[in-house]
């Protein structure tokens, strides 16, 4: 951990990031537009490279609307074969760099029948169905407790702030529960029905491991899902990664302006 943190700090000229944004599939553009310094993951000691199309794989530092921000342009996923500990290592690094507020973003499939592709959903809670947990293993007491409380992972004040920002910008947002599966396959129609019955509003393959670790480190967390597709249904329509990226591209103007407003108002 020290090697990683010291390496990053050596590039930063005393810039201390207060807000971190993890940019999900198709949502990385913000880090192209606001970039004072970029460090590819491949150059950072102990970081793993991103292997998914549409994910770039670098840490981007920038002053945005007066705030010191670090963005993860691309993330690693459990379905790539990495361990839960490996994919959440960057969150612990962000915490060590001084980040207090973490904005987690992702592309997700709609489960709630009132959601449409390209809607944005503020995450109010999550359900971990990944079958694994990043906190398994010896506990580092300097980071957090052995049995962390999970009663408010997604900070209620930040949910309120995000809603107010959306209202200011006249963007309609949904609020709901993010259900995480390991992937990499999308869901069957029966699985979607089950997720709906069990309280999920959107489904994806990321975010939850990061939220578990960030909550454990006592960071303030906001989650935003970009609804990239109607979830798998019986109507014969097939779902592809290209469709997910395409729809996310359509939503990203809304997404970017919402995130920028949130950073300004934080």
- State yes or no: residue 26 binds ligand HPA (CB under 6 A): no
Per-state percent for the chain, helix, strand, coil, to nearest 5: 35, 25, 40
Strand partners of residue 230 = 110
Spatial separation of the C-alpha atoms in residues 174 and 114, rounded to whole Å: 9
Active site residue 107: yes
Site for ligand HPA in 169-228 (CB under 6 A): 186-187, 203-205, 228
φ, ψ of residue 183 to 5 degrees: the values are 70, -165
What gap in Å lies between CA 202 and CA 227, rounded to an integer?
8
Q: Does 104 bind ligand HPA (CB under 6 A)?
A: no
CB atoms within 10 A of CB 123: 28
Does 117 bind ligand HPA (CB under 6 A)? Our answer is: no
Cα gap 201→175, rounded to integer Å: 9
From the CB of 244, what's the least distance to ligand HPA, in Å?
Answer: 5
Q: Does 105 contact ligand HPA by CB under 6 A?
A: no
For residue 127, the 8-state DSSP code is E
- Verify whether residue 231 is a known catalytic residue: no
Asked if 25 is an active-site residue, the reply is: yes
Tokens representing 239? 């779902």
Q: Give the total of residues touching ligand HPA (CB under 6 A).
A: 12
Residue 130 binds ligand HPA, judged by CB under 6 A: no
Among residues 62, 72, 84, 107, which one is catalytic?
A: 107
Residue span binding ligand HPA (CB under 6 A) among the ranges 1-9, 40-48, 66-74, 105-113:
105-113
Q: Which of residues 130 and 135 has its CB atom nearest to ligand HPA in the complex?
A: 130
Q: Is 229 in the site for ligand HPA (CB under 6 A)?
A: yes
Q: How far apart are CA 91 and CA 213, in angstroms?
A: 7
* Binding interface with ligand HPA (CB under 6 A): 107-109, 186-187, 203-205, 228-229, 231, 244
Residues labelled catalytic: 25, 55, 77, 79-80, 107, 205-206, 229, 241
């Amino acid at each position: 951990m020290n090697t990683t943190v010291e390496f990053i700090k050596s590039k930063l000229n005393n810039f201390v990031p207060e807000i971190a944004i993890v940019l999900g599939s198709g949502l990385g553009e913000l880090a192209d537009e606001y970039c004072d310094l970029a460090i590819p993951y491949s150059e950072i000691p102990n970081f793993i490279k991103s292997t998914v199309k549409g994910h770039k794989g670098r840490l981007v530092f920038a002053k945005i609307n007066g705030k010191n921000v670090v963005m993860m342009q691309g993330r690693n996923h459990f379905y790539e074969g990495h361990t839960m500990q490996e994919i959440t290592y960057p969150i612990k690094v962000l915490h060590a760099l001084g980040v207090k507020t973490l904005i987690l973003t992702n592309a997700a499939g709609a489960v709630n029948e009132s959601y449409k592709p390209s809607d944005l959903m503020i995450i109010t809670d999550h359900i971990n169905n990944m079958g694994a947990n990043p906190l398994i293993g010896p506990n580092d007491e300097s980071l957090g407790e052995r049995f962390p409380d999970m009663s408010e992972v997604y900070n209620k004040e930040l949910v309120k702030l995000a809603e107010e920002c959306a209202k200011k910008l006249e963007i309609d947002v949904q609020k709901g529960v993010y259900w995480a599966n390991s992937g990499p396959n999308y869901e069957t129609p029966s699985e979607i029905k089950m997720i709906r019955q069990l309280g999920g509003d959107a489904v994806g393959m990321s975010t939850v491991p990061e939220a578990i670790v960030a909550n454990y480190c006592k960071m303030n967390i906001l989650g935003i899902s970009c609804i990239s597709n109607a979830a798998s249904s019986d109507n014969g329509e097939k779902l592809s990664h290209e469709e997910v990226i395409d729809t996310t591209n359509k939503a990203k103007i809304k997404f970017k302006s919402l995130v920028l407003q949130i950073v300004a108002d934080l």
